[in-house]
Amino acid sequence: MIPAIEEDAPRTEISAEDTAAVSALPEGNALLIVTRGPDVGARYLLDQQQTTAGRSPDCDIFLDDITVSRHHARFDMVGGEVRITDLGSLNGTYVNRTLVDGSAVLRPGEEVQIGKFRMVFFVSEHGLR
């Protein structure tokens, strides 16, 4: 299982700079902002139909921590929504502290946890394609 992270309560507040980045997202794009764990403040743009996340350098989102599997999760933009799929990771993928069983649709403001990385999911104010 995932090691506990101090201050276990979900945190969705973001900096003014991050708020500006979310506001500037082009139509059809989404953004993950790390709010807890390694690399707090890092931003990951979801601007492709499929985006992979993991510890392998060939992943689109490189999360360099032993709690992350080499190919941990995949984000798919389909039909105006973003779906996260766990790729058989050792520690699991969580949305709002609930283990993802297969895949789950993400909603704006939800917390995604991959290993020790906790990220908040944002969507362009113009929506997804």
Q: Is 50 left (phi over 0), alpha (psi -120 to 50) or beta?
A: beta
For residues 76 and 87, the answer to whether their CB atoms sit within 8 Å is no
The CA distance from 122 to 19, in Å, is: 10
The CA distance from 107 to 122, in Å, is: 8
**Residue 3 scores a pLDDT above 80:** no
The CA distance from 125 to 21, in Å, is: 11
Helix or strand run (H / E) with residue 17: helix 16-23
Q: Where are the domains of the chain?
A: 16-117
For residue 1, give the amino acid letter.
Answer: M
Quick: pLDDT tens for 31-61. 999 999 999 999 999 999 999 999 999 999 9
Quick: pLDDT tens for 107-118. 999 999 999 999
For residue 77, give the amino acid letter.
Answer: M
Quick: pLDDT tens for 59-68. 999 999 999 9
The residues, any chain, with a CB within 8 Å of residue 107's CB and separated by 6 or more, are 121
The whole-model pTM stands at 0.87
The CA distance from 15 to 17, in Å, is: 5
Nearest to 4 by CA among 89, 67, 88, 55: 67
- Does the domain at 16-117 match CATH 3.40.50.1820? Answer given as no
